[in-house]
Structure 1
Amino acid sequence: MKLSIVDLSTVLPGETRHDAFLHSIEVAQLAEQLGFERVWVAEHHGSASIAGRAPEVLIATLAAHTSTIRLGSGSVLLNHYSPFKVAEVFCTLNELYPGRIDLGAGRATTGPVLDFALQQDREKQFRSDSNQQLAELVAWLENSFPEDHPFARSPLHTMRPLPQLHLLGSSTWSASAAAQLGLRYVFAGFINQQATPEIIQQYRDHFRPADGEAGIQQPEVRLAVHVVCADSEAEARRQIAPVHVMYRNLSRGNINAPILDPDSAVDALGGLPPLERYLPGSGIPPKFLAGTPEQVHDQLEALTRDVDARELIIQDLMTEHPARLHSYQLLAQML
């Protein structure tokens, strides 16, 4: 089973945003030592507790502090940006660090204010749709615009092989778009758990082999899941307490609440949160999968087999940095 990490650069209690980025560097270096496949960094805007908002900048920093591991975006929010500029940025990264760069593209709304702030043309209404941007991104990477297209006169000059293009999502749209263009597909199982098997199967059923070099010939599924591993079940429950509190705050509209340390989170919850268990055969991942190495191993093995994923991408929101690094060490040893 291949393992990777998506890192949010979480600002831990009592620390600064600078500290968060130093932790991201340490995570990438450890992941490389442990044999993880790749580390991706996310794009979140307007968050006091998540520092990762410019993946292209952080990717370059992580690449400069590592030597072999693949690095990329999980994801760059394509619906807000010029596909040409995104292609230029990631091709530049690939030219700096050949064979190590992933272009993970996705789409998201960041809220009405920041959606507007991210736009260049303020006279146009924001659209979350990104079909046109995705097709254009592929065409820029491959220089495959039709001869009569204006963009065909200005090809994107870059080196081969290209950065690996992945489409990330949690909806039927993302599955359909990845299938139609013959792209690698990463499903966010921690967002849309119940629909996981259905949407992944939709991608497989409708997959069309790509004509150009940005795509692939056979479907490739990667599954992103929220995982915490600890030496004991009690410690695993303690480590997932902060994310339980965070989601409770989000459900109440309190988006600016600080992320708590584990003990404060346990106090806020009135005790240790329960562990969810994966039901073998269901293909539906728990929202937060946690436990001892043996518990986590058995559940991830069954989940990977049931959805036929070639790789698991681990997300977590642990707020004790040493415990987070230890979780990765345990995962690497078991899987």
Structure 2
Amino acid sequence: MRLSILDLSIVPQNGDRHQALMNTLETAKQADELGYTRFWLAQHYAAKAGAGRSPEVMIPFIAAHTHKIKVGSGALLLNHYSPFKVAEIFNTMEELFPGRIDMGIGRASTGMISDLALQRHRFVGSKKNDDSEQQVVELLNWMHQDFDDENPFSEIISYNNGTSPDFWLLGSGSWSSKTAASLGLRYVFAGFINPAMSFNIVQNYHKEFTPSDYSAKQKPELILALNVFAAETEEKAHRMTAPYQLFEHRLKTEGDTQSLLEDEETALILLGNKFRSPEINLIDPRQPPRFLAATPDKLYDWINQIATAFGAHEIMIQTITGNHQERLKSNRLLAEVFFKNTFS
């Protein structure tokens, strides 16, 4: 089972945003040494709790300080970019680090005001004029130099050195599943965003997958992303989730995306009876909980069961905590059970 990491550059307790980015670098170097397959950088705008907003900046920074791990975006939000510019950025990164760059593409609203701020032409979009699939197709055409002759874009080239980054479409809903399937693309599903619908959406990707000229893939390839917290004891793993639960509670009840993650003790006090103890057993691998928190051996069993049920070739873990050392320890504990040969 391949295991990878999604990093949000969480601002640490008693730290600042510079430290958050340096912690991301340390996490990536550790992941490289431990045997993780890939390390992806998130994109969240105007977020006080996380400094991860520019994957195109962080990817070459991380790649330059690691050796073999694949580095990519999770995701780059294409609806806020020109497809040609994205192609130029990723072709440049691939030229710098051949064979190590992942092109994780998604779409999302960053918020009504920030969406407007990101646009050069201040147009407020709607579902009626959603051109997300056309943007994806245009980006693929830039990467493969595959525009029809009558298309004016066929007159120019986004040059590369003969290789292209691996292209992944990311999402948490049915649109991304259908688009990835119809275009024959690798697919990453954010199970931590939409756990209730995860299984059905992913199965539709498997069933509807159609090979195409846009990808060399002849069969579906799926990464499932999950919230995972590993510790030596069940109690410690459960306590690790408290700051994340508090953050989610504030987001849902107050629309608060600014608050920094509290330490475990403070989070438990503030949550009170709203603290939800994580599952101690995986009842149905087709319905994974919103976060998995347990000892490494139990997580090894759970993650393999979930991957088998979903037909996932890889699991990407997200561990949201302001305690950097606990995150590093969680990643190490998982590596010890998943990559046993690394430590033999």
Fold-level match, TM-score > 0.5? yes
Mapped to 1, the partners of 2:148 and 2:280 lie a distance apart of 51
1:126 aligns with 2:125: yes
Which deviates more, 35-44 or 314-323?
Answer: 314-323
Mapped to 2, the partners of 1:86 and 1:332 lie a distance apart of 33
Q: Which residue of 2 aligns with 1:7?
A: 7
Aligned pairs (5 A) from 1:1-335: 1-122=1-122, 124-127=123-126, 129=130, 130-212=132-214, 214-252=215-253, 253-270=255-272, 273-277=276-280, 279-335=282-338
Residue 268 of structure 1 and its aligned partner are, at CA, apart by 1.4
Mapped to 1, the partners of 2:64 and 2:43 lie a distance apart of 20
Mapped to 1, the partners of 2:72 and 2:280 lie a distance apart of 30
Q: Which amino acid aligns with 2:111?
A: G
Residue 194 of structure 1 and its aligned partner are, at CA, apart by 1.0
Residue 273 of structure 1 and its aligned partner are, at CA, apart by 4.0
Q: Which amino acid aligns with 2:307?
A: T
Q: Which residue of 1 aligns with 2:342?
A: none
Mapped to 1, the partners of 2:103 and 2:62 lie a distance apart of 15
Question: Does the CA contact (< 8 Å) of 2:91 and 2:158 recur in 1?
Answer: no
Divergent runs of 4+, >3 A? 277-282
Q: Which amino acid aligns with 1:286?
A: P
Residue 13 of structure 1 and its aligned partner are, at CA, apart by 1.9
Question: Does the CA contact (< 8 Å) of 1:276 and 1:286 recur in 2?
Answer: yes
Mapped to 1, the partners of 2:300 and 2:48 lie a distance apart of 33
Residues 57-89 of structure 1: per-residue CA shift (max 9 Å, x gap): 000110111111100000000011100000110
Residue 196 of structure 1 and its aligned partner are, at CA, apart by 1.0
Q: Which runs of 5+ in 2 are unaligned?
A: 339-344
Mapped to 1, the partners of 2:160 and 2:236 lie a distance apart of 48
Change in CA separation of 1:215 and 1:307 when aligned onto 2, cut-off 3 Å? same
Change in CA separation of 1:172 and 1:38 when aligned onto 2, cut-off 3 Å? same
Residue 259 of structure 1 and its aligned partner are, at CA, apart by 1.2
Mapped to 2, the partners of 1:282 and 1:290 lie a distance apart of 15
Question: Does the CA contact (< 8 Å) of 2:49 and 2:261 recur in 1?
Answer: yes
RMSD: 1.4
Which deviates more, 293-302 or 79-88?
Answer: 293-302
Q: Which amino acid aligns with 2:63?
A: A
Residue 282 of structure 1 and its aligned partner are, at CA, apart by 4.3
Q: Which amino acid aligns with 1:79?
A: N
Residue 267 of structure 1 and its aligned partner are, at CA, apart by 1.7
Question: Does the CA contact (< 8 Å) of 1:228 and 1:289 recur in 2?
Answer: yes
Mapped to 1, the partners of 2:235 and 2:180 lie a distance apart of 40
Aligned residues with identical type, % of pairs:
43
> If the length of structure 1 is used for normalisation, what is the TM-score?
0.96
Residues 126-164 of structure 1: per-residue CA shift (max 9 Å, x gap): 246311110100000000000110000002111232100
Residue 6 of structure 1 and its aligned partner are, at CA, apart by 0.3
Residues 306-335 of structure 1: per-residue CA shift (max 9 Å, x gap): 111000000011221111111011111112
Which deviates more, 317-326 or 186-195?
Answer: 317-326
Residues 185-207 of structure 1: per-residue CA shift (max 9 Å, x gap): 00000011011111111111111
Question: Does the CA contact (< 8 Å) of 2:4 and 2:38 recur in 1?
Answer: yes
Question: Does the CA contact (< 8 Å) of 1:238 and 1:273 recur in 2?
Answer: no
Change in CA separation of 1:22 and 1:55 when aligned onto 2, cut-off 3 Å? same
Residue 2 of structure 1 and its aligned partner are, at CA, apart by 0.4
Q: Secondary structure at the match of 1:166?
A: strand
Mapped to 2, the partners of 1:74 and 1:39 lie a distance apart of 9
> If the length of structure 2 is used for normalisation, what is the TM-score?
0.94
Mapped to 2, the partners of 1:180 and 1:91 lie a distance apart of 24
Question: Does the CA contact (< 8 Å) of 1:184 and 1:215 recur in 2?
Answer: no
Mapped to 1, the partners of 2:218 and 2:137 lie a distance apart of 17
Residue 107 of structure 1 and its aligned partner are, at CA, apart by 0.4
Q: Which amino acid aligns with 1:173?
A: W
